[in-house]
Structure 1
Amino acid sequence: MGLVQYFRKKHLSFVTLVSWFLLFYIIAALVFWFISLETQNQQMYVYRVSELKRDEPTYYNKVMEAEKARRLKSIQYIGEGSIFLLLILVGAGFVYRATKRQIMVSHQQQNFMMAVTHELKTPIAVTRLNLETMLKRKLEDAQREKLLRNTLQEANRLNELCNNILVSAQLEAGAYRLERQELDISALAQAVADDCITRYPQRTIVTTIPSEIYVDGEQLLLQLLVSNLLENALKYSAKDKPVLLGLAIEGKQVKLTVADEGAGIPDTEKKKIFTKFYRIGSESTRSTKGTGLGLYLCKKIATDHKGSIAVKDNTPQGSIFTVTLQSA
């Protein structure tokens, strides 16, 4: 894998070097032709003036006409050259941005493939080990129940991962049809929180959710949104730190907040974290699980519900994610 990455980087470096060389060559050729044409224009002016007879009554007028023609040609060359140069620079800028974006997307997709492979293999391996243990050994009911509960948790992880990937692809392609309805967001958020409490009994999840707050939305998508935000907070905060889930109504808006006491997010990364496949750091040094789809999905879901999502620093440390939706 390292050898493939090495040759890929070498290939991209070579392509970039060739692109810059061609750009400078084109600009140099444009400057060369401008100087050549301007020199030729000056020579034609000198030739025309030398052909005139000084004793002619119209000598001065013809010299002025030749000078005017020379100036017009110079203006023409400067104008055409400037337009060509501007078009070349604009085109080069677009090519550079497209190439840079493609390289970044390629790198993010590669990180995503590495992450999703790990995310898929881990629950499959745990599930297989649990089932093999139950088949090969005679276990007590308590041990059997513990293994079954663990296997169910891993199956839920796989289900969430598949949902994230599938819904993300459908939303991006415009193939997902939102079936909006008047939805009790209070009950939905509490149900997601209860599920997380069951799956993570060693963690503390504190909820502040008033009853009967309604929004106009899609149940599955909003479940994914709340679940992804809670999962994100649990992943990036210490096990002894609580995660807070709050819901409030302010005028015609419903605000859902998820707060953690983790390491926080640098200001330079706050906008990037909602980009598809983007994760802070590199896949080789990152210790937390994830595919880079969770927060991207949250932003996409919030936007499709005519809402918004934002992140700010928590006090004394950590992050607070706030989703704003329209109340029903």
Structure 2
Amino acid sequence: MAGLWTPLENWSLQKRFQWRGFRPSAVPLVLVAIDDRSIARLGRLPWDRRRFAQLLDRLEGAAVVGIDVLFSEPTAQDALLARAIARQGRVVLAAARTPTSVRLEPVPPLAEVSAGIGDIGAGIFGENLQLRTALVVPKSPGSDLEVETFGTVIARLYASLAGLSQPSVPDRIWLNWPGPARSLPSVSAIDVLEGKVAPARFADQIVLVGVTATAVDALITPFDTQASGIALHWTVVDNLLGNSALAPWPGWLTGLVAVMSALGLGFLLTGRPGWLQLTITLAWAAGWVGLAVVLFWRSSIWLPLAAPAGALILAGGFSLIEGEQRTARRLEIQRERRKAQQAVTDSLATALVAATGDGRIYFQNPASAPFFPENRSTPFLGEQLQALGWLSAEQWAEAQAALGSGQPSQRQVNLGERDYRLRLVPLSQDEQVGGILCAIEDITAQLELERLRQQMLGMLSHDIRSPLTNIRGFAELLKISPPSSDIELEEMVDPILSSAERVQGLVSDFLALARIESPAFDLKVQPLSVQARLRPLMAELRPQAEARHSRLVAEDWPKEPLIIAADPLRFDQIFMNLLTNALKYGPDSQTIRVRLSLDSPWVAIAVIDEGFGIPDAALERIWEPFYRVKTAQTEGIPGTGLGLAITRKLVELHTGSIAVTSNPGQGSCFSVRFRQQNLAPDP
């Protein structure tokens, strides 16, 4: 028996032992217990072997004496104990082995006079219900020795001395435990040594001498969680001599009974009402359990219980619960469908609100909570949809008219600073409008994208088409009327080059913004000196400034280097954009100052110009892609509207910040802040 049924069957067998209780033995067995009282009087083991010699003299009339104590170490009292063993003449000694398989035999003087030697090694398995009667132990390197267990040797010796037929000893026996260890007939070793037990008590008895003191052994039996090993040897002797070992059914017969019982019960239950199926199944299973208990109690026959009874219950239960399972499956599918629908509505970014035909709300998903007063997640039953103020009275009347005809209604509404699309869909019931589903979708981002798209199209139509028109016009002019001099050639080629540079700059800005917003974009950050990076940038732009009679000035630069962690290339790009803008959007003869300051833990870099300035209404929008400030002074200045958007994105990727202040007609101040570093810059 294997698999699922084995632990259940062993458990049921243990329960049958406990229900039965103590079973008197027909074998003359007496236990001389080295108990707690004996150890308290004579000390802990090992005892002086003279004690065992005295004990054997008291047991002179015993049929067989088995001593479950190891005598593997020689002592000065071995000769005295050997004479006592020889006088008794029917003593079985114990042998064992260490965890490293070292054989522990009785010392030769004792082994030579003993009537037999039995192994007290484990050999027990299967939830302590089975025992191997012969054990294979190492004898010498490369060879093994088969020895019999302690109880087996005692049983064979007693049968031989008593003139009985030798007990049948299989390779393994199913132990029929007699009862709790405390219920075994026993006397204390100290009482025997002190003469308190009459010698007649042991006449013609099998006497087992063993340790029962607390915490010496930890044998688990169906009756005890901590019994001594001598209880096992007692059970083996009792089972072999009394022919009382359990007689289990063969595994194949158990399986056959389980299958036939299930088939027969299934046939019997077919077509019967559920209550009758349950009654028949329980009655059949109870009858089998009762039979198993009676046979075990009366004849020590182990009739399988778990597998047949389980098969009966399963067979009967299957037909009983099959209909319930179908119903449960239907209900589960409905529940799962509702859960899926709930999960879908809960995960939607679109707010959903359902109301009855007259506008009373009965459902909303989490996304709709911000649209209710006080951000309420659960509306009051009967709250009116139209009372929330999403639509005016006139719009609500128009929507109701459309819904009444079965048509959806859609409106774009502005709530606070966001734009929403409000869609009302009729919910049909019996071909009539039974309710309203209101979907509220935030379209602010869509409208913003549309605005950017329009800006981009406007920019493309002007900033790309105009230079391309110039390039084409001058190219056609060159083809039709070749220049007659170098000066005329230069006058025709310069506009082509200028227009090409404008297109190239626009494309470069497009690509730069696309790269920065790509997830794969990566900064190569390293420590750098702000002063060391700004000096060459200002030197590069100084010729352009001087051409317009303007100056680039370093203001309040500390002598000590200000160290930040930044990507050198992107740092240069940030301040090249800001300095170029300061030159482009300012008059001639202005002073552009680059001011450095330390506001620990931040390094602030300010670019201050005396340019045209930025109107207050445009201060927040200058960071938007494609946005350009349109004033009389900036009209005609080429640009894509992407420079500041790129600059702000690069600063934020460095975990920095950028801000602007401006006075129209007086100039602007762009301030960039980076976190200060204490590391030395790379050379």
TM-score interval for Structure 1 and Structure 2 normalised by the shorter chain: 0.5 to 0.7
Match of 2:626 in 1: 277
Partner Cα separation in structure 1 for residue 554 and residue 628 of structure 2: 29
Match of 1:235 in 2: 584
Alpha-carbon distance, 1:296 to partner: 0.7
What is the correspondence of 1:79-228 to structure 2 with a 5 Å cutoff?
79=383, 81=385, 91-92=421-422, 94=441, 97-114=444-461, 116-117=463-464, 161-203=506-548, 204-208=550-554, 210=557, 212-228=561-577
Amino acid at match of 1:219: P
What SS does the corresponding residue of 2:510 show, helix, strand or coil? helix
Structure 2 CA distance for partners of 1:236 and 1:100, relative to 1, 3 Å = same
Alpha-carbon distance, 1:189 to partner: 1.5
Query: Do 1:181 and 1:218's aligned partners in 2 also have CA atoms closer than 8 Å?
Result: yes
Partner Cα separation in structure 1 for residue 546 and residue 496 of structure 2: 15
What SS does the corresponding residue of 1:321 show, helix, strand or coil? strand
TM-score when normalising by structure 2: 0.31
Amino acid at match of 1:205: R
Partner Cα separation in structure 2 for residue 158 and residue 196 of structure 1: 22
Partner Cα separation in structure 1 for residue 485 and residue 452 of structure 2: 48
Partner Cα separation in structure 1 for residue 541 and residue 533 of structure 2: 13
Partner Cα separation in structure 1 for residue 598 and residue 456 of structure 2: 38
Structure 2 CA distance for partners of 1:151 and 1:193, relative to 1, 3 Å = farther
Structure 2 CA distance for partners of 1:101 and 1:155, relative to 1, 3 Å = closer
Query: Do 2:553 and 2:591's aligned partners in 1 also have CA atoms closer than 8 Å?
Result: no
Partner Cα separation in structure 1 for residue 501 and residue 544 of structure 2: 9
Structure 2 CA distance for partners of 1:157 and 1:323, relative to 1, 3 Å = farther
What SS does the corresponding residue of 1:100 show, helix, strand or coil? helix
For residues 179-198 of structure 1, what are the alpha-carbon distances to aligned partners after superposition, in whole Å with 9 as ceiling and x for unaligned? 10112221221211111113
Partner Cα separation in structure 2 for residue 296 and residue 252 of structure 1: 26
Higher relative contact order (CA 8 A, sep 6+): 1
Query: Do 1:230 and 1:258's aligned partners in 2 also have CA atoms closer than 8 Å?
Result: yes
Amino acid at match of 1:198: P
From 315, 320, 328, give the equivalent of 2:669.
320
Structure 2 CA distance for partners of 1:157 and 1:196, relative to 1, 3 Å = farther
Partner Cα separation in structure 2 for residue 197 and residue 257 of structure 1: 18
Structure 2 CA distance for partners of 1:105 and 1:153, relative to 1, 3 Å = closer
* Structure 2, unpaired ranges of 5+: 1-354, 361-379, 392-409, 414-419, 423-439, 476-482, 678-683
Alpha-carbon distance, 1:99 to partner: 4.7
What SS does the corresponding residue of 1:310 show, helix, strand or coil? strand
Structure 2 CA distance for partners of 1:157 and 1:327, relative to 1, 3 Å = farther
What SS does the corresponding residue of 2:513 show, helix, strand or coil? helix
Query: Do 2:468 and 2:499's aligned partners in 1 also have CA atoms closer than 8 Å?
Result: no
Partner Cα separation in structure 2 for residue 275 and residue 227 of structure 1: 19
Structure 2 CA distance for partners of 1:158 and 1:316, relative to 1, 3 Å = closer
Query: Do 2:545 and 2:551's aligned partners in 1 also have CA atoms closer than 8 Å?
Result: no
Partner Cα separation in structure 2 for residue 214 and residue 200 of structure 1: 28
Residues 1:268 and 2:617 aligned together: yes
TM-score when normalising by structure 1: 0.61
What SS does the corresponding residue of 1:281 show, helix, strand or coil? coil
Amino acid at match of 2:651: A
Amino acid at match of 2:453: S
Moved beyond 6 Å, runs of 4+: 83-89, 122-125, 150-159
Alpha-carbon distance, 1:206 to partner: 2.3
From 24, 34, 51, give the equivalent of 2:358.
34
Alpha-carbon distance, 1:81 to partner: 4.0
For residues 175-221 of structure 1, what are the alpha-carbon distances to aligned partners after superposition, in whole Å with 9 as ceiling and x for unaligned? 31111011222122121111111344313232216363221001111
**Rg larger in structure:** 2
Provide the aligned length of Structure 1 versus Structure 2.
252
Query: Do 1:115 and 1:291's aligned partners in 2 also have CA atoms closer than 8 Å?
Result: no
Amino acid at match of 2:383: G
What SS does the corresponding residue of 1:170 show, helix, strand or coil? helix
What SS does the corresponding residue of 1:178 show, helix, strand or coil? coil
Partner Cα separation in structure 1 for residue 583 and residue 622 of structure 2: 16
Sequence identity of aligned pairs in percent? 25
* Structure 1, unpaired ranges of 5+: 1-29, 38-74, 129-134, 145-149
Query: Do 1:123 and 1:157's aligned partners in 2 also have CA atoms closer than 8 Å?
Result: no
Partner Cα separation in structure 2 for residue 296 and residue 118 of structure 1: 23
Structure 2 CA distance for partners of 1:102 and 1:164, relative to 1, 3 Å = closer
Note the aligned Cα RMSD (angstroms). Answer: 4.5
For residues 37-60 of structure 1, what are the alpha-carbon distances to aligned partners after superposition, in whole Å with 9 as ceiling and x for unaligned? 9xxxxxxxxxxxxxxxxxxxxxxx
Structure 2 CA distance for partners of 1:327 and 1:116, relative to 1, 3 Å = farther
Structure 2 CA distance for partners of 1:79 and 1:256, relative to 1, 3 Å = same
**Larger helix percent:** 1
What SS does the corresponding residue of 2:383 show, helix, strand or coil? helix
For residues 15-68 of structure 1, what are the alpha-carbon distances to aligned partners after superposition, in whole Å with 9 as ceiling and x for unaligned? xxxxxxxxxxxxxxx99x428x9xxxxxxxxxxxxxxxxxxxxxxxxxxxxxxx
Alpha-carbon distance, 1:174 to partner: 2.4
What is the correspondence of 1:291-310 to structure 2 with a 5 Å cutoff?
291-310=640-659
Query: Do 1:302 and 1:309's aligned partners in 2 also have CA atoms closer than 8 Å?
Result: yes
Query: Do 1:245 and 1:259's aligned partners in 2 also have CA atoms closer than 8 Å?
Result: yes
Structure 2 CA distance for partners of 1:118 and 1:290, relative to 1, 3 Å = farther
Query: Do 2:513 and 2:642's aligned partners in 1 also have CA atoms closer than 8 Å?
Result: yes
**Larger strand percent:** 2
Query: Do 2:612 and 2:664's aligned partners in 1 also have CA atoms closer than 8 Å?
Result: no
